[in-house]
Amino acid sequence: MPIELGSFSLGTVVGGVVVGVFNHYLTKSRNTEERKIKEFNQAAATFRGKVLAELEGLFPSRNGWNREEYARFKQTIPKIETIAQEFSFHLERKKEFDKAIYQYCNYCKQITWDQCAAWSLYPTMRKEGELPPWAKYDHLVKTLLSFAEEK
């Protein structure tokens, strides 16, 4: 009988230790996940704020821009790339994000006042279902911002 009592006591102690260790790692894992989410949300808010500040006056578009504003598109590229680089460390979908950055930069390099004016003045030159240049731009920016949605 004393051996069983000792076994029971030892089993209770070992079981308590196992449960305690398991609970410790479960809590630690949960805290780590919560910390990662908090860090992502802070980085996402910073990314959104910096992008929107850089694109003030260009986004959201107002059905076009003044002729003088077109030079700003190319000027936004280095800053947006830097902001994106800082944020990309917090992303899981980096390839998709890199593709969205590439599409944004490529569009900003190509967009001209002449193209936008032609789109507005010559409706017969439009391809069926083609979006206006400002709608394309808004779509590209919204795609970038979609990576920074809070978790």
Residue-wise pLDDT for 61-73, tens only, equals 888 888 889 999 9
Domain borders along the chain are: 46-146
Helix ranges (H only) for the chain are 2-54, 70-88, 94-110, 113-121, 133-146
* pLDDT tens-place string over residues 40-91: 999 999 999 999 999 999 999 888 888 889 999 999 999 999 999 999 999 9
pTM above 0.95, yes or no: no
Q: What would the pLDDT profile of 104-119 be if each residue is shown by its tens digit?
A: 999 999 999 998 888 8
pLDDT at 2: 44
Which residues are CB-neighbours of 140 under 8 A, at least 6 positions away?
Answer: 100, 103, 104, 107
- Calculate the alpha carbon distances from 33 to 5, 90, 149, 150 in Å: 42, 13, 17, 14
Half-sphere exposure for 86 (CA within 13 Å, toward CB):
15
